Amino acid sequence: MRVNEIFYSLQGEGFHTGRAAVFVRLSGCNLTCSFCDTDHRPFVEMKEEEIVKAVAAFPASWVVVTGGEPALQLTASLVDGLHGVGKTVAVETNGTLPLPDNVDWVTVSPKDVFVGAKGKPVLTRADEVKVVFGEQPFSDHPDEGIIADHYFIQPCDTGDSQRNARITARCIDYIKQHPQWRLSLQTHKIIGIR
């Protein structure tokens, strides 16, 4: 498996913000988003057993498999291996590819508003939907029809504080008009951790 990095930190976004987590970042993505803040291209080849051993060294039970796009590589056997060492497995995905059935928590972050039809999600159910809002017009259905327990709007970080403030204000206004949505901020960036 091509692994970009494995590291220990706090979940910075969405429903589990602030929770200690082991992050397994898999290399590669099937989309190219202009705002992507992760260089997920470099990798080392690791066997699933090596990944499980590396993850087991950390005390947190929460594991986030992310990328790039983790569905390009994630297998049911890796999830089983992580379960076998007492871990709960969450996946952060753009939703364009199917996932193994044994994942415990699915966060879908649709990207088709940024990349067009190739980014249209195929997943129809998730634990949470986290939509990145930038300066594009708001969609009438930002959830892409995905049924979820939790819906989040996250302001896109453009790297420009004035643009970010405008985007955040738009997100707040949207949520006030659509109260089924909640605000997700990238708290790991705010407090200066990975």
Which pLDDT score, from 0 to 100, does residue 174 have?
94
Which pLDDT score, from 0 to 100, does residue 127 have?
98
- The one-letter code for the residue type at 175 is I
Which pLDDT score, from 0 to 100, does residue 137 have?
74
Q: Does the reported pTM lie above 0.95?
A: no
The alpha-carbon radius of gyration of the chain (Å, integer) is: 16
Which pLDDT score, from 0 to 100, does residue 117 have?
73
Question: What Cα–Cα distance (Å) separates residue 138 from each residue in 12, 52, 102, 174?
Answer: 24, 40, 33, 9
Pairing of the two strands 2-10 and 125-133: unpaired
Q: Which of 90, 31, 88 is nearest to 61 (CA)?
A: 88
Which pLDDT score, from 0 to 100, does residue 42 have?
84
Report the C-alpha dihedral over residues 141, 111, 37, 103, rounded to 10 degrees.
Answer: 90
How many degrees, rounded to 5, is the angle at CA 44 between CA 84 and CA 189?
A: 80
Which pLDDT score, from 0 to 100, does residue 115 have?
66
Q: Which of 140, 126, 99, 119 is nearest to 36 (CA)?
A: 119
User: Which positions are catalytic?
Assistant: 23, 29, 33, 36-38, 92, 188
| Per-residue pLDDT tens listing for the chain (194 residues) | 999 999 999 999 999 999 999 999 999 987 777 766 677 778 999 999 999 999 999 999 999 999 999 999 999 999 999 999 999 999 999 999 999 999 999 999 988 766 667 778 999 999 999 999 988 777 777 888 899 999 999 999 998 999 999 999 999 999 999 999 999 999 999 999 98
The H or E element spanning position 112 is helix 112-115
Which pLDDT score, from 0 to 100, does residue 76 have?
98
Name residues whose C-beta falls within 8 Å of residue 152's C-beta, 6 or more positions apart in sequence: 13, 14, 15, 128, 129, 130, 131, 181, 182, 183, 184
CB distance 86 to 50 below 8 Å: no
